[in-house]
Structure 1
Amino acid sequence: MMAPRMSRGLLAALLAMSCPAAWAQDAAWRQHEPNTRVPKGVMRYAPTGFPDRIVASPAADAATGFAVAWRTSAAVESPLLEVVVAGDSPDMGEPRQVRATTRVLETENGVAHHHRADVDGLRPDTLYAWRVQGERTWSAWHHTRTAAGAEAPLTLLYFGDTQNKNVSLTTRVVREAMRHAPDARLALYAGDLVSGGDGEDDNEWGEWFESNETLPTSMAVAPAPGNHEYFEEFEDTPQERRVLGAHWPVQFALPRNGVAQAAETTYWFDYQDVRVVVIDGTSALDLGTAKAQAQWLDGVLASNPHRWSIVLTHQPFYSPREGRDNVLLRKHLLPVIRKRKVDLVLQGHDHVYGRRLPGDEPTPVFVVSVTGAKQYRLSDDARTTMKPVAEDTQLFQVLRFDGPRLRYEARTATGRLYDAFELVDQGATGKQLVEHAEERIDERDCARAETLKGRADRCWE
């Protein structure tokens, strides 16, 4: 007969009595757990001749192409990507070779070469095998299926900010998401993938890739930039300004079709019956590009031939956190989103969950979510204008498009259903929002008065 399990509280009490020194050490570690698991002085993520940080992203037409970014040591210049229609035999035939372009990045982990290869001319709804070259070696063969026709079902994942303690606490959410949606073809990230600015930027990116495990090579990845992908140059001086971090332009191979004023951080692509448009809230709010982005967004949405549209951005149009109000987004970009009848606006930044209650029209649906460890608190206004809302909850979202129906689910880190609804396209009468309250768990609030570091404005950090 198995012995009964001991509660965590009882175990902690016994440890404190039996071994005070060990308990003190454990408590100190819990209170001051660092943002990465890399101990000071350890070089965990140094580049080598072996390809790493391999990530596939969609081309503007995801039915006919994709692009791949990867990293090696400086010994590798302009390597190859090989691609072939995937087959059941290890002999898949003669692969096509695509030469990569290379950019240099020097970080706390040394000099790295970041490579990009764009693969075009592919057949829709076809499974391709591909690999990337390193120094006298190759990566594993990975699989990417090109987008199918507009009528085919599509499943995608949406993650809010990952940002902090990625290996420690983001890993489990990504694994749960992939278990719940093994058929997902696309993953959207709403910015602040890492925290940055602490001298460990490259370690943080290393942890982001480690926490995502096989996801970046088993589906297409499309991120929005967050404010933490930028840094403050000349901070606390009259010359202070926002500057895009050096990792963002080389870490992903994103479509090059954005607005000129934010060319490296805005883009769009078509995936089956969905047009996804990524805007840069930080550039709009802090660098004066809101008007230019709005004009560009209007053109991209006006030419959308598909049934569905998604705008992916970091900063929310309606902030659920106290003290934040992104006025410029609502002034310049929101009118375009409403005019062009966008279906979903997927956001991050505020480290809580909130779905804005519909107004006169069921769309656009505005959602803010968070995947990572940092957890804030909801404003009083959010509790009256959004439902459901959540504090102290790590989440992922599964979106399933099937003809005239879009089903949206938000699930917790343990897979429990937190929010669910459908958008149903009724043709000439527009789209209808249908709530699905069954099996949802109760709304979650932060139960602690302050964080372990004593901050009352946050729930966890």
Structure 2
Amino acid sequence: MMLALGALLAGAAFADAGPAQRKAEPNTLVPAGVMRYAPGVFPDRIVASPSEDAATGFAVAWRTGGAVDAPWLEIVEAGDSPDMGLPRHVRSTTRALTTENGAAHHHRADVDGLQPDTLYAWRVQGEGTWSPWRQLRTAAAADAPLTLLYFGDTQNKNASLVTRVALEALRHAPDARLALYAGDLVSGGDGEDDNEWGEWFDAAGPLPSLLMVAPAAGNHEHFEEFEDTPQERRVLGAPWSLAFALPGNGAPGAEATTYWFDFQGARVVVLDGTSALDLGTAQAQARWLDGVLADNPRPWTLALIHQPMFSPRQDRDNVLLREYLLPVLERRRVDVVLQGHDHVYGRRGGLVEGRATPQYVVSVAGAKQYRLSDEARNTMAPVAEDTQLFQVLRIDGDTLRYEARTATGRLYDTFELRAEGNDRRLVEIEAGRIGQRDCPREATLKGRTDRCWE
């Protein structure tokens, strides 16, 4: 009886803490004055990214304390015995970065000469320590089935609210080999930048241990130098080039944030919308993109960029992207353009009537939620507000299947592109989709009416 009464009272107390008493959640879970993510003797923030040819190589980035210089990566073909044989040693390069969490060394090791479709065990070194062994399979042949994940902006409240999206994505796609992030991984500029990066890695959870990660840079990976002066300009933040070990085959003027790689049947091209819009590289990126796609031997093409070609948020219009990059995406018949930035969901086709590709998609994985413009509601379908999402893409022979799912795994959007010679046929799949989601709130907890949640 007492237990039942206690449960009843606890339930009543929980019910009393209703919406009227809710407060906006801070951007990180780290209390003021707490050093949660100090670098140390153990390697952390370990993430593998594809080389230009993901069948024969990948690169790894990781972090340690400042006493570690040029540590080793060990790699060996994975086996069923704990004795997997003598590993190969790969020496890393090291760069320093000091943040609110102290002095750190960030390391990069490039692993080449690997066999396609082969499971490798690997680990990285700290200060007299090693990480646990991780296992990663190299890309297979171009005709092998491929499953990959795509996430829109994570940005805010990563550890608190993005974690569940990453875990749900793995539940629905345990066979995924690649994860694409469409920029604004963190928010930055709040004095907690390194805490935010620490929480991004917490939110990613097991993803970097199981598959390769390829991110696009967003505007929040840049910062404003000389803010509020005539010399104000965008500058790429120092953490970006240290957090990921990317291929380094990008466009002139945007080498750190643009790149391409082949992964089985797909060529993936990563663009930098911020550099194109604010740093004058739109034309250079367009020429580079055209060259990368001109001799593309892969049957499928994906483009990843932060800012959308067609913005679904009110009062945003990325004119330079449509002037320079959009014509190349259309002419080279890119299959799907994966985008973020606008913190809603929307999908539309390209400019040529009757042509199935490109399909332009905007999505959001994180907690910040904006509102749709009237134009988006008229030109995109489906659309959504107030919804955290992840996407699963499956390429199998002449079919690319796309699924957008909510943070609870419910199906929101799905279609197939079916190759018919050099053309594509779009097949909309309505079965199993939930209905359109719109923002039910007039304002956020902070009183903003231009957003749904923050």
Fold conserved between structures, TM > 0.5: yes
Secondary structure of 2:382's aligned partner: strand
Residue 417 (structure 1) aligns with: 411
Residue 453 (structure 1) aligns with: 446
Alignment match of 1:368 (pick from 348, 362, 370): 362
Residue 272 (structure 1) aligns with: 264
Distance (whole Å) between structure 2 residues aligned to residue 405 and residue 10 of structure 1: 52
Residues 386 and 155 (structure 1), Cα distance of their counterparts in 2 relative to 1, 3 Å cut? same
Distance (whole Å) between structure 2 residues aligned to residue 204 and residue 289 of structure 1: 28
Letter in 2 for 1:407: R
Distance (whole Å) between structure 2 residues aligned to residue 186 and residue 294 of structure 1: 25
Letter in 1 for 2:103: V
Secondary structure of 1:231's aligned partner: strand
Residues 136 and 261 (structure 1), Cα distance of their counterparts in 2 relative to 1, 3 Å cut? same
Secondary structure of 1:440's aligned partner: coil
Alignment match of 2:140 (pick from 143, 148, 161): 148
Residue 190 (structure 1) aligns with: 182
Secondary structure of 2:301's aligned partner: strand
Letter in 1 for 2:130: W
Residue 390 (structure 2) aligns with: 396
Q: How far off is 1:9 after superposition?
A: 10
Aligned length: 450
On the 8 A contact 2:50/2:247 being kept in 1, the answer is yes
Cα displacement string for residues 322-369 of structure 1 (whole angstroms, at most 9, x for unaligned residues): 000000000001111111010000000000000014543110000000
Letter in 2 for 1:106: T
Distance (whole Å) between structure 2 residues aligned to residue 13 and residue 87 of structure 1: 53
Distance (whole Å) between structure 2 residues aligned to residue 8 and residue 157 of structure 1: 40
Letter in 2 for 1:390: A
On the 8 A contact 1:357/1:385 being kept in 2, the answer is no
Residue 64 (structure 2) aligns with: 72
The answer to whether the aligner puts 1:382 opposite 2:340 as a matched pair is: no
Residue 260 (structure 1) aligns with: 252
Structure 1 residues 31-40 or 48-57, which shifts more?
Answer: 31-40
Residues 161 and 7 (structure 1), Cα distance of their counterparts in 2 relative to 1, 3 Å cut? farther
Q: How far off is 1:14 after superposition?
A: 3.9
The answer to whether the aligner puts 1:433 opposite 2:407 as a matched pair is: no
The answer to whether the aligner puts 1:353 opposite 2:345 as a matched pair is: yes
Distance (whole Å) between structure 1 residues aligned to residue 101 and residue 354 of structure 2: 53
Residue 300 (structure 1) aligns with: 292
Q: How far off is 1:309 after superposition?
A: 0.3
Letter in 1 for 2:358: P
Residues 138 and 323 (structure 1), Cα distance of their counterparts in 2 relative to 1, 3 Å cut? same
On the 8 A contact 2:349/2:357 being kept in 1, the answer is no
Residue 200 (structure 1) aligns with: 192
Superposed, 1:116-135 pairs within 5 Å as 116-135=108-127
On the 8 A contact 1:357/1:387 being kept in 2, the answer is no
Cα displacement string for residues 73-110 of structure 1 (whole angstroms, at most 9, x for unaligned residues): 01100000000000000100000000000000010001
Alignment match of 2:169 (pick from 165, 177, 192): 177
Distance (whole Å) between structure 2 residues aligned to residue 350 and residue 9 of structure 1: 38
Residues 10 and 437 (structure 1), Cα distance of their counterparts in 2 relative to 1, 3 Å cut? farther
On the 8 A contact 1:319/1:326 being kept in 2, the answer is yes
Cα displacement string for residues 395-425 of structure 1 (whole angstroms, at most 9, x for unaligned residues): 0000000000010000000000000000000
The answer to whether the aligner puts 1:328 opposite 2:320 as a matched pair is: yes
Q: TM-score, normalised by structure 2?
A: 0.96
Letter in 2 for 1:243: V
- The gaps in structure 1 that reach 5 residues or longer are 17-22
Secondary structure of 1:363's aligned partner: coil
The answer to whether the aligner puts 1:405 opposite 2:376 as a matched pair is: no
Letter in 1 for 2:197: W
Letter in 2 for 1:200: E
Distance (whole Å) between structure 2 residues aligned to residue 10 and residue 390 of structure 1: 34
Residues 438 and 288 (structure 1), Cα distance of their counterparts in 2 relative to 1, 3 Å cut? same
Distance (whole Å) between structure 2 residues aligned to residue 320 and residue 214 of structure 1: 32
Q: TM-score, normalised by structure 1?
A: 0.95
RMSD: 1.9
**Share of identical aligned residues, percent?**
72
Cα displacement string for residues 39-94 of structure 1 (whole angstroms, at most 9, x for unaligned residues): 00000000001000000000000000000000000110000000000000010000
Q: How far off is 1:156 after superposition?
A: 0.1
Which contiguous aligned blocks of 4+ residues in structure 1 show a shift greater than 6 angstroms?
1-10
Distance (whole Å) between structure 2 residues aligned to residue 209 and residue 130 of structure 1: 19
Residue 340 (structure 1) aligns with: 332
Distance (whole Å) between structure 1 residues aligned to residue 16 and residue 171 of structure 2: 37
Q: How far off is 1:15 after superposition?
A: 5.5
The answer to whether the aligner puts 1:442 opposite 2:435 as a matched pair is: yes
Distance (whole Å) between structure 2 residues aligned to residue 367 and residue 135 of structure 1: 44
Residue 19 (structure 1) aligns with: none
Distance (whole Å) between structure 1 residues aligned to residue 151 and residue 373 of structure 2: 22
Residues 153 and 376 (structure 1), Cα distance of their counterparts in 2 relative to 1, 3 Å cut? same
Distance (whole Å) between structure 2 residues aligned to residue 174 and residue 447 of structure 1: 25
Q: How far off is 1:8 after superposition?
A: 11
Q: How far off is 1:124 after superposition?
A: 0.2
- The gaps in structure 2 that reach 5 residues or longer are none
On the 8 A contact 1:226/1:281 being kept in 2, the answer is yes
Distance (whole Å) between structure 1 residues aligned to residue 417 and residue 205 of structure 2: 32
On the 8 A contact 1:159/1:396 being kept in 2, the answer is yes
Superposed, 1:207-222 pairs within 5 Å as 207-222=199-214
Distance (whole Å) between structure 2 residues aligned to residue 153 and residue 166 of structure 1: 31
Residues 83 and 11 (structure 1), Cα distance of their counterparts in 2 relative to 1, 3 Å cut? same
Secondary structure of 2:417's aligned partner: strand
Residues 401 and 446 (structure 1), Cα distance of their counterparts in 2 relative to 1, 3 Å cut? same
Residue 104 (structure 1) aligns with: 96
Secondary structure of 1:138's aligned partner: coil
Residues 85 and 291 (structure 1), Cα distance of their counterparts in 2 relative to 1, 3 Å cut? same
Residues 8 and 247 (structure 1), Cα distance of their counterparts in 2 relative to 1, 3 Å cut? farther
Residue 82 (structure 2) aligns with: 90
Distance (whole Å) between structure 1 residues aligned to residue 149 and residue 326 of structure 2: 24
Residue 105 (structure 2) aligns with: 113
Secondary structure of 2:253's aligned partner: helix
The answer to whether the aligner puts 1:40 opposite 2:32 as a matched pair is: yes
Residues 137 and 444 (structure 1), Cα distance of their counterparts in 2 relative to 1, 3 Å cut? same
